[in-house]
Chain A
Amino acid sequence: MSAPTATTPPIPRSSWLTPRRRKALLTRTVLYLLLAVVAFFFAGPLYILLSTSFKPMSEIQAGGLMALPHAPTAQPWITAWGEACIGITCGGLKGFFGNSMMMAVPAVLISVMIGAINGYALAKWPFPGARFVFAALVAGNFVPFQVVLAPVAVTLRTLGLFGSVQGLILIHVIYGIPITTMLFRNFFLSVPNDLIKAARIDGAGFFWIFFRIVLPLSPSVIVVALILQFTGIWNDFLFAVSFSNPASAPMTVALNNLVNSNFGVKEYNVHMAATVIAAAPTLILYVLLGRYFLRGMTAGAVKG
């Protein structure tokens, strides 16, 4: 496309650096310098987190925050995953990672399914009062969950689910309804009505149209909803800390207990490895599916 640079004749210096070009060059230099500062500010913490997690404690105490590890060791990771003491148990994070997975995967799948059906019903099978129903459901996005915390605790105790992973799944599914319903309803509005009408004339029912026509048309919104819900539920701390017990605690709670406990010597390298482990699943989703991720975050930013 562009002319090969090797064949371009050298430009005389005098005509190349005209005042105007000099100014443009200066502007570009300043621009990239500023961008470098921005990139350093945002990427620096992750770099420090990773490099510190491979350092022995002696190197950390010697300073050199930005230095790469001199003698890299995987021991902090092994300790964080399988040996670190969290509360009274010393089995590392692996059990809590499992808790988070056993909580997040079913909660995400169920809440996305419910949201898809709700959104489809509201967008494509409207009835008198559908707008009111939508508003009543979606208003839940704005409510600070502090206002339901105590009654939820009472309810979970009554159901015998307090302190269990199942209880957390139930709560995440229920409070996921507003955001997933909103996401799917807004997307399904753009699915042509003629498609639905044609199928209905052919005798197709509510669920047949949903599974055979509407869902196959919407892989992108499904991915967005899955990412949004997984990120939200994996990263949740408020419900986790309120309704779990030491055995059923998700990662966020275990990580906070590990790092912010006042007992013993602080093993910073282990803390850093633990932090990377806690952040890894959502970070990997971001790296693999960045475009969908942004759409999910924008839609989910209103959520409680």
Chain B
Amino acid sequence: MRRFFQRHVSQIALSPSLALIAIFLYGFIGYTVAVSTTTSKAFPRFDNFVGLEQYWRLFHTPRWHVAFTNMFLFGGLFLLVTISLGLIIAILIDQRIRAESFFRSIVMYPMAMSFVVTGIIWQWLLNPTLGIEVMVHQLGFESFRLDWLTNPNTVIWALVIAAFWQGCGLVMALFLAGLRGIDEDIWKAAAVDGIPAWRVYVFIVIPMLAPVFLTVVVLLSLSIVRAFDLVVALTNGGPGVSSDLPSVFMFDMAFRRTNLGLSAASAVVMLGTVLAILIPYLYAETRERA
């Protein structure tokens, strides 16, 4: 017995975790997939199998359409803004500036804030009767309008700016690390040849950062699929359902509308979206190493 324990101590130490993950992760994913093939309402039932009908219903639910489209709209804008500005801020900070750590800290501290806190802060700043709009009016620009939170057509920008404020620090830090990892000789050679700095960035340095771009895109995409707290705190999906995201839809169907079957189907679609992002990435990563 003692010998067995000594020989397999590593497996024994790991087995509780493995069992918990097997049940709570893989088992529960299977459970949700199973529920998504039933007409479960308030409680999960498995005696009413309907195949893929919930998925059919899901994609014929107007609110899901809004939520699913928003994920791509919000995601695309968020990626574009955060990657371009994150890179630019990293380049600015990389210019041998004074008080570098001061500027870095200021860009990165919002990472410590929860999405609930971030959402509340921006709800306040974007409030048309109290926030930035009033401030600009008092500066003398009376016609200035910032109605993102109340306009269904632009509310997605409210999510983008808040998510950018919170997430830019991480992206900036990753790019800055990438920039610091680039060989100094490239800059010396470019200086000898009299090539202007912006051309060195555009044609040499930024292409060399391709792996960082890939990492950033994957990290941000994962956070986009999961975005939940920010929407709840900032817009609560409104006005109407115009800023709904799949995670909010899923939560609402599961805990408020007691439609577990449909909710499970939406959760499985979210998981599928993550896999669609990850599998090509992991495939590329493993091929690169092989």
Residues of A in contact with B (beta carbons under 8 Å apart): 31-32, 34-35, 38-39, 41-43, 45-46, 48-49, 52, 60, 63-66, 114, 117-118, 121-122, 125-127, 130, 133, 136-137, 139-140, 142-152, 154-155, 174-175, 177-178, 181, 205-206, 231, 234-238, 241-242, 252, 255-256, 259-260, 268, 271-272, 275, 278-279, 282-283, 285-287, 290, 293-294, 297-298, 301-302, 304
Contacts and interface: CB of A to CB of B under 8 A. Distances in A.
Contacts of B233: 237, 256, 259-260
Contact of B274 (A42, A143, A152, A252): A143
A286 B111 contact: yes
A118 B25 contact: no
Contact of A133 (B18, B29, B125): B18
Nearest to A130: B10
A20 to B, nearest CB: 13
17 contacts: A39-B106, A48-B125, A127-B8, A143-B29, A144-B270, A149-B267, A151-B27, A152-B24, A174-B20, A235-B117, A238-B229, A242-B255, A255-B120, A275-B121, A278-B117, A297-B111, A301-B170
Contacts of A151: 27-28, 31-32, 44
B109 to A, nearest CB: 6
B191 interface: no
A42 B107 contact: yes
B58 to A, nearest CB: 14
B156 interface: no
Interface residues of B, number: 86
A60 B255 CA distance: 37
Most buried by A among B8, B14, B135, B246: B14
Given A177-B20, A238-B229, A150 B25 contact: no
Given A43-B106, A275-B120, A148 B32 contact: yes
Given A238-B251, A302-B219, 11 more contacts: A38-B103, A42-B168, A60-B130, A65-B132, A142-B278, A150-B260, A150-B267, A235-B116, A260-B120, A260-B232, A278-B117
A242 B247 CA distance: 12
